[in-house]
Amino acid sequence: MRELTVELGERSYPIYIGEGLLDQAGELFVKQGIGKKSPMLIVTDERVAERHLAKLAAVLQEAGYQVTSAVVPSGESSKSLSVFESLMTKALQAGLDRKSTVVALGGGVVGDLAGFVAASYMRGVKFVQVPTTILAHDSSVGGKVAVNHPLAKNIIGAFHQPELVLYDLNTLQTLPPREVSAGLSEVVKHGLIWDAEFVQWCDDHAERLLALDPESLGYALYKGCGVKAAVVSRDEKENDLRMILNLGHTIGHALEAVAGYNELLHGEAISIGMVGSARLAVKLGAPEQVLTVTKRVLTRVGLPVRLPEHLDTDRIMEAMSHDKKFLEGTMVFIVPTAIGHVEINKSVSTALVREIVEQLKQEAVQA
Amino acid sequence: MRELTVELGERSYPIYIGEGLLDQAGELFVKQGIGKKSPMLIVTDERVAERHLAKLAAVLQEAGYQVTSAVVPSGESSKSLSVFESLMTKALQAGLDRKSTVVALGGGVVGDLAGFVAASYMRGVKFVQVPTTILAHDSSVGGKVAVNHPLAKNIIGAFHQPELVLYDLNTLQTLPPREVSAGLSEVVKHGLIWDAEFVQWCDDHAERLLALDPESLGYALYKGCGVKAAVVSRDEKENDLRMILNLGHTIGHALEAVAGYNELLHGEAISIGMVGSARLAVKLGAPEQVLTVTKRVLTRVGLPVRLPEHLDTDRIMEAMSHDKKFLEGTMVFIVPTAIGHVEINKSVSTALVREIVEQLKQEAVQA
């Protein structure tokens, strides 16, 4: 088992990564001070419920916890205010009180949704993340929780840190290949913004990662979570540094919105967005290698680098204007000036972004 | 102009109380560091909009702020997730960004609703309270914001402190008499929990308060806000001490829920709840005088002390079980052991509460 700490003073918390950790959930919860007197709500989705809910609930019940669960439909559409409200109803009916804990068992959608429930129920109760996807190594660390608004993603939310993150590598073994690749998108991102050596490691271990080799996967998640934790510790509320975690997200979020949250998985949209950022970087003077390495490593882990041609450029630009990173009239872009290093550029012109979006539709796809 | 500070370290903020303060809104906003580059959203209700919105918007625009406004229906029913969502839409359409400010112009409903919008929009933007009712002297200070769930009041919310509270006494001059009395309920509460001398002052000045004499009103709000600020400074997140502010609220919230949020105003329900708490206190050994003084001062400021007989006791008890103050299986009551002093009693039995509720239906009404 690997262990990391997100350093946030009194609100510091551990991330555990290893095989078979669901079996240890009871003792790890107790160690973290999760109380047993108040009812606990596990939030999960249909697909994850089928595979892991009975197990987690049984382990926690055996440890003495009063467990209720709520199962939401799988997919991004559950990150809505109406599903949020139904979970509030469930929490009330189950008698959750101010000392209760909400547990998110699932991927990023479940984590974001259950996290906002935990942040808002009675103005905030405890929260535990049990991620079951690779992608969620990103969203489960750092306390950003939210639901979507029909006009923009993640616009209704809070900063609400979990008490612990419990990452059981066994839950990743049943992920479909497309989701494995999509999940690796944020792993690669953490390398691109912070650690050139780790980008090279991802390139070298792409096949093992795609084959879900536990040792490689454990290391990749440990490194990815490590970058995330380091950044969040320095800037919890995204005043400045934390923005670098948004590499690829300005374009990526717009693509997801325009494609309807279904055609492109989050990781795929971010992959295309990171290629866009690399292309922007080169245009602003970064070495060509930033673009070629970015494209190569993303391609090797099975991710798209070209923007689907039928997505309308005007609609993409419009969606971008609603982004939280559109600040006081200028556009904020995270620009990779070298592999393993990014800068925050707050004055990228709309015209240049439009040009990049157009070019992304022609992006050469490598073998 | 009277000025108070809510001491919360980096998040400390001022409360200004005085006549004609709306005219000074521009300079007071600037003094508090509210930026002008990002659009600002004023949230208000239909009744307040008619009287004060044009004025406040004009003053702020003149000072250089970009002002948009949203008007919600008057009344508790606006504290819903659906109105909350419509305000999120409005904020997005108006182009609010992370540096924007949400201004609540109105009573407690508007403050709670707009505050939760400010707490959640893009995971939190700045917030200013411009209360226009006496009751809101309580809710506008302390950062508790929330909307209601059909099953329970204030169950979906956050702690989100304002940047400043701007209390223009002139806006109170058009309050209907019933709302004046209801507002004085929380003023009296602040005396009952903290300051026996101020309870006596309220008793002596009841007529002047009901006549909206500015000098008396300004002093009463200054004292009321002062108690609130003192308590919140010591316990922002309601871990212990802050609970004392809930005097009368355990029964009061249940009465509001059962009466449908319309028959009883919040202050009226709390008034009956405070009489219940005093009765409970006497039953637990406090001097009879706690009950007689509580009833006398509430009666003098025009508040009800008897529970309407047609409200069903079973339903009142059921509503109480959903209360946030129903903690880990026991009931938490704030009990006035003397005038100006309360204790937190965490082990009041349901049977005793039921007895009190029944007695409240027979409560003698004094002249």
Q: What is the pLDDT of residues A37-96, one digit of tens each?
A: 999 999 999 999 999 999 999 999 999 999 999 999 998 899 999 999 999 999 999 999
Is the pLDDT at B252 greater than 80? The verdict is: yes
Q: How many CB atoms lie within 10 A of CB A9?
A: 7
Q: Distance between CA atoms of A25 and A21, rounded to whole angstroms?
A: 6
Of A99, A123, A237, the CB nearest to B146: A123
Q: Distance between CA atoms of A47 and A72, rounded to whole angstroms?
A: 9
Average pLDDT over residues B247-255: 93
Q: Same domain, yes or no, for A36 and A159?
A: yes
Residue by residue, DSSP assigns A53-68 as IHHHHHHHHHTT--EE
User: Where does a domain end: A126, A150, A172?
Assistant: A172
Q: Same domain, yes or no, for A165 and A249?
A: no
What CATH number is attached to the domain comprising B221? 1.20.1090.10
CA distances from B182 to A213, B231, B272 (A): 66, 22, 11
A158 has a chain B CB within 8 A of its CB = yes
Q: Same domain, yes or no, for A147 and A196?
A: no
Q: Which residue has the tokens 């000045």?
A: B205
User: Where does a domain end: B152, B172, B192?
Assistant: B172
pTM of the model: 0.91
Confidence (pLDDT) at B327? 58
Q: Same domain, yes or no, for A192 and A338?
A: yes
Q: What is the pLDDT of residues B266-304, one digit of tens each?
A: 899 999 999 999 999 999 999 999 999 999 999 999 999
Is the pLDDT at B30 greater than 90? The verdict is: yes
Mean pLDDT of chain B: 94
Q: Which residue has the tokens 């200054």?
A: B222
ipTM of predicted complex: 0.90
Confidence (pLDDT) at A330? 67
- Our count of domains for chain A comes to 2
Q: What is the pLDDT of residues B176-216, one digit of tens each?
A: 999 999 999 999 999 999 999 999 999 999 999 999 999 99
Residue by residue, DSSP assigns B196-265 as HHHHHHHHHTHHHHHTT-HHHHHHHHHHHHHHHHHHHHH-TT-SSGGGGGGTTHHHHHHHHHHHTTTSS-
> Which residues, numbered 207 to 266 in chain B, qualify as contacts with chain A under a Cβ-Cβ cut-off of 8 Å?
237
User: Where does a domain end: B117, B151, B172?
Assistant: B172
Q: Same domain, yes or no, for A106 and A206?
A: no
Residue range of the domain that includes A192: 183-360
Is the pLDDT at A324 greater than 70? The verdict is: no
Q: What is the pLDDT of residues B98-144, one digit of tens each?
A: 999 999 999 999 999 999 999 999 999 999 999 999 999 999 999 99
Q: Same domain, yes or no, for B100 and B208?
A: no
Is the pLDDT at B359 greater than 80? The verdict is: yes
- A-chain residues within 8 Å CB-CB of B243? none
User: CB of A43 within 8 A of CB of A33?
Assistant: no
Q: Same domain, yes or no, for A268 and A342?
A: yes
Is the pLDDT at A329 greater than 60? The verdict is: no
B293, two tokens: 């003084």
Q: What is the pLDDT of residues A237-282, one digit of tens each?
A: 888 899 999 999 999 989 988 997 678 998 999 999 999 999 999 9
Average pLDDT over residues B152-164: 94
B89 has a chain A CB within 8 A of its CB = yes
| A366 domain residue, yes or no | no
Distance from CA of B18 to the nearest CA of A (A): 31
| B160 domain residue, yes or no | yes
- B-chain residues within 8 Å CB-CB of A84? 81
Q: Same domain, yes or no, for A139 and A224?
A: no
The residue count for chain B = 367
Q: Same domain, yes or no, for A61 and A40?
A: yes
Q: What is the pLDDT of residues B81-107, one digit of tens each?
A: 999 999 999 999 999 999 999 999 999
User: CB of A320 within 8 A of CB of A250?
Assistant: yes
What CATH number is attached to the domain comprising B164? 3.40.50.1970
CB contact under 8 A, A88 and B329: no
Q: Same domain, yes or no, for B156 and B276?
A: no
Q: Same domain, yes or no, for A21 and A148?
A: yes
Average pLDDT over residues B159-167: 97
Predicted confidence band at A361 (pLDDT cuts at 50, 70, 90)?
A: very high
Confidence (pLDDT) at B204? 97
Q: Same domain, yes or no, for A165 and A188?
A: no
Of B37, B158, B326, the CB nearest to A120: B158
Q: Distance between CA atoms of A225 and A354, rounded to whole angstroms?
A: 33
Average pLDDT over residues B23-32: 97
